Amino acid sequence: MNFTAHNIRLDNGSFTKPDEILISDHPCTISTRKILNLVFPSNKKNYRVIDLGCLEGGYTVEIARMGFDTVGLEVREESIACCNHVKANLDLPNLNFVKDTAWNLDKYGPFDAAFCCGLFYHFDNPKAFLEKLARNTKKLLILQTHFATPLDSGVKQYNLAPMEVHEGLPGRWYYEFDQALSFEEREKMRWASYENDKSFWIQKEYLLGLIYDLGFTTVFEQFDSWAPNMGENLNKFYPDGLRGTFIGIRDM
C-alpha cells in the first residue's frame, strides 16, 4: 500500500507510514476530537459521521475509535485501496469506506456530523457542494479548508487568480492541473481535484456567512489546532497559509 500521509497504527502493531506523525496525535485530529466530544458528549454509537475525501482513512479511523458510526468517502482507486487495507487490519465494525465522488454524498446520508478536511477547496462550485452537504448534515459541520482574501497574502504562494465573484460569492480561482492531462494522469494526483482543472476559494468572511445561511446558527473558526505557541504559529503561518477550520452547529 502506498500511503502518502496518514500514519495509522494497525491492530498488529504496525504503522502505515512510520516516518509521519501518528494520525491520532495530529493537531487536526485532536481539535476534531474536542469539537465532536463537545457536541456529542455521550452515546456516540447513536450518531453517524461522514469523512469526505478521506484519502487514506486516517481521520475516519480516529472518529470511529471514538465510537461513532463512521463512513469515509473516497473516489481514487489507490486511496480507497489504502482505506480498505486499514479496515481489514482493524477491529472496528463501525468503520466503513465507500468509493464514490463526494458529489454523491446524499446517497449515503443523512449524517449527524460531517468532517470535510482538505477537500472543499478542490471544487469549482463550492457553494453548490456546501448546499448539498448542509442538506445531509443534521447537527455539526467541521470544514477544514483553504480560503481567499482580498489581500496579497498567499496569492503568489498558491498562484491564485485575481479576486472575482463566482456563485454569487467573492473569492479567487486556484489552478489544479493542465486541462490536457489524461484521466489516468489525474487519477494518480491524489492531492488534487478529481475532475475540474480549477477550483474556487471563497473569501473567508463570505464562507462563514454561507455556513450560517445554510442553517448552522452557531458559526466560528477553531484555532486550537495551532497550539501550543498559538500566537507565534498564527503569526508565522496563518496569513500566507490561507487555511482554517470552520465550525457550524445547528440549534436542535
Q: What is the pLDDT of residue 46?
A: 98
Residue 50 CA to residue 95 CA, distance in Å, equals: 10
All residues at 6 or more sequence positions from 42 whose CB lies less than 8 Å from its CB, including other chains: none
Dist CA 155 CA 200 (whole Å): 13
Mean pLDDT by 10 residues, the chain (252 residues): 95 97 97 98 98 98 98 96 98 98 96 97 98 98 97 92 98 89 80 88 98 98 96 95 98 82
Tell me the β-bridge partners of 203. 148
Distances (CA, A) of 25 to 8, 22, 30, 61, 234: 10, 5, 7, 13, 20
pLDDT at 166: 98
pLDDT at 182: 83
Q: What is the pLDDT of residue 201?
A: 98
In order of their start, the domains of the chain are 23-249 (3.40.50.150)
What confidence score (pLDDT) does residue 90 get? 98
What's the confidence (pLDDT) of residue 180? 78
- Output the pLDDT for position 10: 98
Question: Residue 192: its pLDDT value, please?
Answer: 85
pTM as predicted: 0.95
**Residues ≥6 apart with Cβ < 8 Å to 38:** none
Strands (E), the chain: 48-52, 69-74, 95-99, 111-117, 137-146, 164-166, 169-175, 198-202, 218-222, 243-249
